[in-house]
Structure formats: structure tokens, C-alpha cells
Amino acid sequence: MNRRDFLDRGWKAGFVMIGAAGMWTSWDMLRPLPGSGLGGVVKTVAPSEVPSDSPVYIRAAKSYLTRIDDEIVALWQRCPHLGCRVPWCESSGEFQCPCHGSRFNRAGEVRSGPSPRGLDRFAVTVVDEVVEVDTGMITEGFPLGTPETIDEPVQGAGCR
């Protein structure tokens, strides 16, 4: 084998190995992780830890857990208007979007602002005394103008 053929084969083998390593690394980075984060089932807290007067924030599920008429509800933290994170305001007793001013009651129903509907909900099940939130099953919030299902007036000043 002459020098030119040897170098030609060496370069080709090197490119093949670099390409294979790149594909291997890309697959490890891009493959979905089983059952974690948004799009999967997230195990949260015991049902007894969900209060009936304020929500509990679950970071892994990007949602709030609250009780509405003895039913545990998971509300997505994302505002239906433009997708901002909507925090809970303790002083007013409602969710308040910091971006455009939409306000939602504890059940996630829209009270005011530009949001076209209430906060979206995730499916919730209780398995072995643990609340599981299925972030892959989203139910759209109630449309603007729907009467509120809970009678909780604003408690105080807002958080903005």
C-alpha cells in the first residue's frame, strides 16, 4: 500500500469515527427521559398536605395543587394569554399574572384581564397515598365569562 492510499483510508476512518461519536452524543442529549417533568407523570405530595384555602406549588410539575370541593386540582402555572408564569398572591388570595395583569381565583377561573380563559389543568390521581399529576393530559381552563364555581372574594391588596 502506498502512502497516498494509507492517508486516504486514515482520513475516511477518522471522519467515520467522529460522525459516530457525534451521533452517539446527540442521541444521549436528545432522547426523552422516561416519566419526568412536563409531559410525564409527576409524583408530588400526600393528599393531606394539600390545603383547602391556598395552593401548594409543585416545581417538578410546573403546577399548583389546590382543593376545590374536596377534589384535588392541579393548575398549570402558565397564563393562557401569553404564557407567563402566574404566581399565587397570598395577600389577595388569587393568582396574578405579572405580565399583563390577568387575575384568577383559587380554582384557576379568570376574574379579570386579557386572558381568554382560566388556568389550564392537569389530570390528577391518588396512588398509594401520593398525588400524581399527569402533565401530559391538559384540560383547557373555563372560558372568560364563566361564573365562578367557588365564592372567595379578593382578600386584600394585590401583589403587583
Residue 27 lies in a domain: yes
Q: What is the mean pLDDT of residues 133-150?
A: 86
Domain around 119: 41-139
Q: What's the pTM?
A: 0.72
Residue 147 lies in a domain: no
Sheet hosting strand 88-89, strand order edge to edge: 88-89, 94-96, 103-104, 110-112
Looking at the structure, do residues 7 and 62 belong to the same domain, yes or no?
no
Q: Greater confidence, 144 or 9?
A: 9
Residue 149 lies in a domain: no
Looking at the structure, do residues 68 and 26 belong to the same domain, yes or no?
no
CATH number of residue 109's parent domain: 2.102.10.10
Torsion over CA of 5, 7, 12 and 14, rounded to 10 degrees? Answer: 150
Looking at the structure, do residues 93 and 112 belong to the same domain, yes or no?
yes
Residue 80 lies in a domain: yes
Tens of pLDDT, residue by residue over 97-141, are 998 889 999 999 998 889 999 999 999 999 899 999 998 888 988
Residue 148 lies in a domain: no
Tens of pLDDT, residue by residue over 4-61, are 999 999 999 999 999 998 888 887 677 665 545 567 888 889 998 888 888 999 998 8
Residue 155 lies in a domain: no
Looking at the structure, do residues 57 and 134 belong to the same domain, yes or no?
yes
Domain count, the chain: 2
Looking at the structure, do residues 55 and 123 belong to the same domain, yes or no?
yes
Looking at the structure, do residues 46 and 12 belong to the same domain, yes or no?
no
Looking at the structure, do residues 84 and 52 belong to the same domain, yes or no?
yes
Looking at the structure, do residues 76 and 109 belong to the same domain, yes or no?
yes
Residue 126 lies in a domain: yes
Tens of pLDDT, residue by residue over 60-102, are 889 999 998 889 999 999 999 988 999 999 888 899 999 888 9
